[in-house]
Chain A
């Protein structure tokens, strides 16, 4: 059992939890994730370790209420327990030796990319961060990101924060400024966004890391549910990733699988879920 030490609402659909998990905190590195099971009837879902504190023995998770299990997780309050947390899983991000990086994140992807951005900053790499959200009210981690970034641009789909636009446009204008030489792009967010970002950076021949977060069960290479094609070879996001070379990954396959989630898992639970109906989109 893993105790919830704090729970903060980041916006109407996204929350941040601090969990007591000393062994995981002690081994965690940027880019790794945990698999959680809310209670003994729960399914297992992967969540990125958004932050960790070895001294306090804690890890942070940030989740958006998108489905049944994240909504069930959100029913838990400070002082309560989560039945299972296992990790840290996946390979840590390789972030040494870069000088000038751009982070491109969309929505909850900001939570996934934050530890990597922070690690780059600590490695004395210049960090430019471009984040996109649907609306102003969904912006998360703004202060944290600004603190570790040398340049930050936050755009919204509807312009409600005063910066209407797409992350891809912001990225493009950054890359076209020839006074800067970038050696790394990390992108995390909705699949079509990551695909578009990788198409752009390929033209500029800049190494691009994507962090994949597909459906998985165990997170240890046992189910194969998280398989992705990288350079035509089958890889498991849980043990070979979650970071992959964005120019080698087959996004179309993953997008197709993602689209068919409801066909694969036609359980009535999502439709009947009262928790979800309360969740605004």
Chain B
């Protein structure tokens, strides 16, 4: 078989060219430069095009992965992107920020003996290198839908509904759309022009994005559905409220939530002298947490010329952050202090001096697979610093909860929605993404947006509001 001969049998995947750490810590430009045509093809040839396509089952939005990879082998990048776009509203984004190693790539047959195919890097390559297509504007069916929040879930839901002919309006609280992709993920990981292109495509489809509108404050959900005549509402407001540790010293000046620190830098470009946004310029920074947000905050602080230490209460192998992000942070000089639990932030005359931590250890528990932590001795240790960034997670914003009637929430403040239909307790109101699950990933939020769009359409057809 001539085709088989072409398969790249290398056990290791094709590395992505990256900017030199020495150079990249001075800019907010993208760190991963992207595959060249030759590198993409080399990696695409590692795909075995398995009949049973295990990778597809690992993808929350069910992208036909072997087919798009085959298109790259055949130099048909536009077709590869078409296949991606069929299932994903944001392939260029997902190629960059999806945890592929836990999803599609975790199921890849090549991963049983070597590295899995670098599906994410190929997705990004196809999305970045396709030619811009004229978007066909769908015929309007006259039915209005409101989407609350312009993050990945809201964008996906709006796009799906717009393609079906609905007149969709997205309401965004901030001055710029994109949700966590705009305020949270730094530009060196997700360049703004990539996101702007996706949002532009949405406008081309006829979706209207109204910024500076807080639903629950500017308008209520009831107003949207009565006075403003929206036939359905999709709540995709995310999980944007930062958690704090409730330890002494946390209200000192110089203690930031990761959200505030990242928002100042990403949404409001504090690093650029063109913008008015002020930001602290700490000599030393301690970032508390071990997730992707902690890595983003640490790497942003590095770019503000700070000496950065990440403090995480568990060990490196238990960090929820992507391996790639941890590696990049290390390359950029970020130091790590594992098995350490901050208990107090100390100050001298109101300025932060150090973070006091307990040393932690794992207590082997045979009964449970969850590794439990406990204090390793009574001695504490101190890390000198000027600034502390708290990145221990976030919870669901309470504005919708406190200003809406009929929508049920669970004890932790998450919206209760049917896992299959995304329907909430209030007729005509659907919800999905982090607002329902708590903070998760871009791709899971997109999956929920897609499901919601399908069910909104189905329900409105059943009610006789729209006809196909």
Query: Chain A: residues with CB nearer than 8 A to chain B?
Result: 23-24, 27, 37, 41-44, 68-69, 72, 83-89, 217-218, 220-225, 227-229, 234, 236, 239, 250, 253, 256-257, 259-261, 263-267, 269
Contact = CB atoms under 8 A, between A and B. Distances in A.
Contacts of A236: 241
A23 B260 contact: no
A83 B276 contact: no
A227 B245 CA distance: 13
B275 to A, nearest CB: 5
A260 B268 contact: no
A38 B2 CA distance: 64
7 contacts: A27-B219, A43-B275, A43-B278, A87-B214, A234-B250, A236-B241, A266-B280
Interface of B: 173-175, 183, 211-214, 217-219, 240-242, 244, 246, 250-254, 256-257, 259-260, 263-264, 268, 274-281, 350-351, 397-399, 402
B241 A88 contact: no
Nearest to B173: A220
Nearest to A83: B175
B218 A41 contact: no
Contact of A222 (B212, B213, B244, B263): B263
A20 to B, nearest CB: 13
B218 A24 contact: yes
Contacts of B211: 84
A84 B257 contact: no
Contacts, number: 126
A153 B253 CA distance: 36
A239 B218 contact: no
Contacts of B351: 260, 263
A268 B306 CA distance: 18
Contacts of B173: 86, 218, 220, 222
Contacts of B250: 234
Given A222-B241, A224-B242, A260-B254, A89 B276 contact: no
Nearest to B282: A264
B184 to A, nearest CB: 10
Contact of A256 (B212, B241, B253): B253
A181 to B, nearest CB: 33
B259 A224 contact: yes
A261 B278 CA distance: 10
B218 A224 contact: no
Nearest 3 A-B pairs (CB), nearest first?
A: A265-B278, A223-B260, A260-B253
A84 B256 CA distance: 24
Given A41-B274, A220-B173, A260 B350 contact: yes
Contacts of A256: 252-253, 350
Contacts of B275: 41-43
A269 B246 CA distance: 34
A89 B254 CA distance: 25
A265 B218 contact: no
A146 to B, nearest CB: 32
A6 to B, nearest CB: 21
A245 B278 CA distance: 30
A234 B218 CA distance: 26
Contacts of B244: 224, 227, 234
A220 B214 contact: yes
Given A84-B175, A86-B214, A220-B397, A43 B276 contact: yes
Contacts of A220: 173, 214, 217, 240, 397, 399
Contact of B218 (A44, A87, A221): A87
Nearest to A232: B246
A269 B268 contact: no
Nearest to B210: A23
Contacts of A72: 276
A229 B251 contact: yes
Given A43-B277, A86-B173, A234 B263 contact: no
User: Which one of A42, A85, A260 has the highest number of Cβ atoms from chain B below 10 Å of its Cβ?
Assistant: A260
B240 A222 contact: yes
B240 A225 contact: no
Contacts of B212: 84-86
Most buried by B among A88, A256, A266: A256
B276 A218 contact: no
A242 B347 CA distance: 27
Given A41-B274, A224-B257, A267-B278, A218 B263 contact: yes
Given A221-B240, A221-B397, A263-B351, A269 B278 contact: yes
A229 B264 CA distance: 23
A69 B278 CA distance: 11
B257 A225 contact: yes
Nearest to A85: B212
Given A220-B173, A222-B241, A44 B254 contact: no
B58 to A, nearest CB: 32
- The CB with the most chain B CB atoms within 10 A, among A225, A253, A259, is that of A225
Nearest to B256: A225
B279 A265 contact: yes
A250 to B, nearest CB: 8
Given A229-B251, A266-B281, A86 B175 contact: yes
Contacts of B263: 217-218, 222-223
Nearest to A224: B257
Most buried by A among B175, B263, B268, B399: B175
A266 B280 CA distance: 7
Contacts of A225: 256-257, 260
A236 B355 CA distance: 23
Contacts of A41: 274-276
B276 A23 contact: no
Given A83-B175, A223-B257, A224-B244, A217 B350 contact: no
Contacts of B274: 41
A219 B246 CA distance: 21
A221 B217 CA distance: 13
A218 B175 CA distance: 9
A221 B276 contact: no
